[in-house]
Protein backbone atom coordinates (compact mmCIF):
# COMPACT_ATOMS: atom_id res chain seq x y z
CA UNK A 1 0.00 0.00 0.00
CA UNK A 2 1.37 3.41 -0.98
CA UNK A 3 2.05 5.66 1.98
CA UNK A 4 0.66 9.18 1.56
CA UNK A 5 2.66 11.79 3.49
CA UNK A 6 2.04 15.44 4.25
CA UNK A 7 3.54 17.83 1.70
CA UNK A 8 6.33 19.27 3.88
CA UNK A 9 7.20 15.87 5.36
CA UNK A 10 7.63 14.34 1.90
CA UNK A 11 9.61 17.33 0.65
CA UNK A 12 11.97 17.09 3.64
CA UNK A 13 12.36 13.36 3.05
CA UNK A 14 13.42 14.00 -0.56
CA UNK A 15 15.93 16.65 0.52
CA UNK A 16 17.34 14.41 3.26
CA UNK A 17 17.70 11.48 0.87
CA UNK A 18 19.27 13.62 -1.84
CA UNK A 19 21.80 14.98 0.64
CA UNK A 20 22.74 11.46 1.76
CA UNK A 21 23.24 10.38 -1.85
CA UNK A 22 25.21 13.51 -2.78
CA UNK A 23 27.53 12.80 0.17
CA UNK A 24 27.86 9.11 -0.64
CA UNK A 25 28.15 9.25 -4.44
CA UNK A 26 28.80 12.90 -5.30
CA UNK A 27 26.33 15.24 -6.98
CA UNK A 28 27.21 14.29 -10.56
CA UNK A 29 26.95 10.53 -9.96
CA UNK A 30 23.78 10.57 -7.87
CA UNK A 31 20.61 10.38 -9.97
CA UNK A 32 16.94 11.12 -9.51
CA UNK A 33 16.30 7.40 -9.92
CA UNK A 34 18.60 6.77 -6.94
CA UNK A 35 16.44 9.12 -4.87
CA UNK A 36 13.21 7.47 -6.08
CA UNK A 37 14.51 3.99 -5.33
CA UNK A 38 15.74 4.81 -1.83
CA UNK A 39 12.49 6.51 -0.79
CA UNK A 40 10.18 4.26 -2.77
CA UNK A 41 8.26 6.91 -4.68
CA UNK A 42 7.23 7.42 -8.29
CA UNK A 43 8.99 9.88 -10.58
CA UNK A 44 5.83 11.95 -10.76
CA UNK A 45 5.93 12.41 -6.99
CA UNK A 46 9.47 13.75 -7.16
CA UNK A 47 8.57 16.22 -9.91
CA UNK A 48 5.62 17.42 -7.86
CA UNK A 49 8.18 18.89 -5.42
CA UNK A 50 11.25 19.57 -7.56
CA UNK A 51 11.71 20.28 -11.25
CA UNK A 52 15.19 18.73 -11.43
CA UNK A 53 18.10 17.24 -9.52
CA UNK A 54 19.68 20.69 -9.57
CA UNK A 55 16.67 22.17 -7.81
CA UNK A 56 16.78 19.61 -5.00
CA UNK A 57 20.52 20.25 -4.74
CA UNK A 58 19.73 23.94 -4.24
CA UNK A 59 17.35 22.96 -1.44
CA UNK A 60 20.10 20.95 0.24
CA UNK A 61 22.50 23.89 0.02
CA UNK A 62 19.95 26.48 1.13
CA UNK A 63 19.20 24.50 4.27
CA UNK A 64 22.84 24.92 5.31
CA UNK A 65 22.87 28.58 4.25
CA UNK A 66 19.71 29.29 6.24
CA UNK A 67 21.28 27.84 9.38
CA UNK A 68 24.24 30.16 8.92
CA UNK A 69 21.91 33.11 8.40
CA UNK A 70 20.12 32.34 11.66
CA UNK A 71 23.47 32.07 13.45
CA UNK A 72 24.43 35.51 12.09
CA UNK A 73 21.13 36.98 13.30
CA UNK A 74 21.59 35.54 16.80
CA UNK A 75 25.17 36.80 16.95
CA UNK A 76 23.97 40.25 15.88
CA UNK A 77 21.85 40.43 19.06
CA UNK A 78 24.79 39.83 21.41
CA UNK A 79 26.23 42.64 23.49
CA UNK A 80 29.82 42.55 22.24
CA UNK A 81 31.89 44.59 19.79
CA UNK A 82 31.08 44.27 16.10
CA UNK A 83 34.46 42.69 15.33
CA UNK A 84 33.86 40.13 18.07
CA UNK A 85 30.45 39.44 16.54
CA UNK A 86 32.06 38.65 13.20
CA UNK A 87 34.60 36.38 14.90
CA UNK A 88 31.86 34.69 16.94
CA UNK A 89 29.85 34.06 13.79
CA UNK A 90 32.84 32.46 12.08
CA UNK A 91 33.40 30.26 15.10
CA UNK A 92 29.77 29.18 15.50
CA UNK A 93 29.19 28.43 11.82
CA UNK A 94 32.43 26.51 11.55
CA UNK A 95 32.03 22.94 10.38
CA UNK A 96 34.22 21.68 13.24
CA UNK A 97 31.20 20.87 15.42
CA UNK A 98 28.80 20.15 12.56
CA UNK A 99 29.46 16.73 11.08
CA UNK A 100 26.81 17.13 8.37
CA UNK A 101 28.24 20.45 7.19
CA UNK A 102 31.77 19.11 7.43
CA UNK A 103 30.82 16.22 5.15
CA UNK A 104 29.32 18.64 2.62
CA UNK A 105 32.42 20.83 2.64
CA UNK A 106 34.56 17.79 2.03
CA UNK A 107 32.43 16.89 -0.99
CA UNK A 108 32.86 20.44 -2.32
CA UNK A 109 36.55 19.70 -2.92
CA UNK A 110 35.75 17.17 -5.65
CA UNK A 111 35.59 18.50 -9.19
CA UNK A 112 32.29 16.75 -9.88
CA UNK A 113 30.70 18.74 -7.05
CA UNK A 114 31.84 22.15 -8.29
CA UNK A 115 28.23 23.26 -8.83
CA UNK A 116 27.35 22.52 -5.21
CA UNK A 117 30.35 24.53 -4.03
CA UNK A 118 29.43 27.44 -6.28
CA UNK A 119 25.80 27.49 -5.13
CA UNK A 120 26.86 27.34 -1.46
CA UNK A 121 29.06 30.40 -1.87
CA UNK A 122 26.37 32.24 -3.85
CA UNK A 123 23.82 31.47 -1.14
CA UNK A 124 26.13 32.72 1.58
CA UNK A 125 26.93 35.94 -0.27
CA UNK A 126 23.26 36.59 -0.99
CA UNK A 127 21.58 35.58 2.28
CA UNK A 128 24.19 35.61 5.07
CA UNK A 129 26.42 38.53 4.11
CA UNK A 130 23.64 41.16 4.35
CA UNK A 131 23.29 40.31 8.05
CA UNK A 132 27.06 40.52 8.53
CA UNK A 133 27.04 43.83 6.65
CA UNK A 134 24.56 45.18 9.20
CA UNK A 135 26.99 44.19 11.95
CA UNK A 136 29.80 45.99 10.14
CA UNK A 137 27.61 49.05 9.69
CA UNK A 138 26.97 49.03 13.46
CA UNK A 139 30.73 48.85 14.01
CA UNK A 140 31.22 51.73 11.63
CA UNK A 141 28.76 53.86 13.61
CA UNK A 142 30.63 52.96 16.82
CA UNK A 143 34.00 53.90 15.35
CA UNK A 144 35.35 50.35 15.19
CA UNK A 145 35.53 50.24 11.40
CA UNK A 146 36.15 52.69 8.61
CA UNK A 147 34.67 51.09 5.52
CA UNK A 148 32.70 52.63 2.67
CA UNK A 149 30.99 49.51 1.32
CA UNK A 150 30.07 47.12 4.18
CA UNK A 151 28.19 44.54 2.09
CA UNK A 152 30.69 44.32 -0.75
CA UNK A 153 33.59 44.23 1.71
CA UNK A 154 32.18 41.34 3.76
CA UNK A 155 31.26 39.45 0.60
CA UNK A 156 34.85 39.79 -0.58
CA UNK A 157 36.17 38.64 2.80
CA UNK A 158 33.78 35.69 3.06
CA UNK A 159 34.86 34.51 -0.39
CA UNK A 160 38.46 34.70 0.85
CA UNK A 161 37.60 32.77 4.00
CA UNK A 162 36.02 30.10 1.81
CA UNK A 163 39.37 29.72 0.08
CA UNK A 164 41.16 29.35 3.41
CA UNK A 165 38.64 26.75 4.52
CA UNK A 166 39.15 24.80 1.30
CA UNK A 167 42.88 24.63 1.90
CA UNK A 168 42.35 23.43 5.47
CA UNK A 169 40.01 20.67 4.33
CA UNK A 170 42.37 19.30 1.71
CA UNK A 171 45.25 19.28 4.21
CA UNK A 172 47.66 21.92 2.98
CA UNK A 173 50.91 22.28 4.95
CA UNK A 174 50.08 23.74 8.42
CA UNK A 175 52.83 26.36 8.15
CA UNK A 176 51.47 27.54 4.81
CA UNK A 177 47.96 27.79 6.27
CA UNK A 178 49.31 29.79 9.21
CA UNK A 179 51.11 32.24 6.92
CA UNK A 180 47.95 32.74 4.89
CA UNK A 181 45.92 33.27 8.04
CA UNK A 182 48.38 35.91 9.21
CA UNK A 183 48.17 37.68 5.87
CA UNK A 184 44.40 37.36 5.82
CA UNK A 185 44.05 39.06 9.21
CA UNK A 186 46.20 41.88 7.85
CA UNK A 187 43.87 42.02 4.87
CA UNK A 188 40.77 42.16 7.11
CA UNK A 189 42.18 45.05 9.12
CA UNK A 190 42.79 47.01 5.93
CA UNK A 191 39.52 46.17 4.13
CA UNK A 192 37.35 47.01 7.15
CA UNK A 193 39.54 49.84 8.34
CA UNK A 194 39.71 48.35 11.84
CA UNK A 195 40.87 50.77 14.53
CA UNK A 196 44.06 49.16 15.82
CA UNK A 197 43.89 51.37 18.93
CA UNK A 198 40.78 49.38 19.91
CA UNK A 199 41.73 45.92 18.70
CA UNK A 200 45.05 44.14 19.10
CA UNK A 201 45.99 42.53 15.81
CA UNK A 202 47.90 39.70 17.46
CA UNK A 203 44.88 38.77 19.58
CA UNK A 204 42.61 38.76 16.54
CA UNK A 205 45.14 36.62 14.66
CA UNK A 206 45.12 34.05 17.48
CA UNK A 207 41.32 33.94 17.34
CA UNK A 208 41.45 33.26 13.62
CA UNK A 209 44.00 30.52 14.16
CA UNK A 210 41.72 28.85 16.69
CA UNK A 211 38.75 29.01 14.31
CA UNK A 212 40.49 27.71 11.20
CA UNK A 213 42.95 25.19 12.63
CA UNK A 214 40.75 23.55 15.27
CA distance 106 to 200: 33
Q: Pick the range with the lowest mean pLDDT from 15-19, 21-25, 36-40, 43-47.
A: 21-25
Instruction: Supply the pLDDT for residue 171.
Output: 56
How wide is the angle at C-alpha 193 spanned by C-alphas 125 and 174, nearest 5°? 65
Tens digit of pLDDT for each residue in 121-142? 999 999 999 999 999 999 999 9
Tens digit of pLDDT for each residue in 102-111? 667 777 767 7
CA distance 29 to 113: 9
CA distance 96 to 102: 7
How wide is the angle at C-alpha 207 spanned by C-alphas 203 and 208, nearest 5°? 115
CA distance 154 to 32: 36
Q: How many residues does the chain have?
A: 214
pLDDT for residue 169 is more than 50: no
Instruction: Supply the pLDDT for residue 131.
Output: 98
Of 83, 61, 85, 62, the residue nearest 73 (C-alpha):
85
202, 205, 211, 213: CA torsion to nearest 10: -100
CA distance 163 to 94: 14
The three-state (H, E, C) secondary structure of 13-29, written as one string: HHHHHHHHHHHHHCCCC
Amino acid sequence: MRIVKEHETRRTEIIDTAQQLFLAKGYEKATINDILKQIGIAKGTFYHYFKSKEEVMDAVIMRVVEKDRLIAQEVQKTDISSLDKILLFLKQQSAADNEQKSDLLEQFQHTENALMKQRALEGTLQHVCPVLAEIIEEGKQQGEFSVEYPLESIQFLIAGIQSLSDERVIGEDPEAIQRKLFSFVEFIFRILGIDEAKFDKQTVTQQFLQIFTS
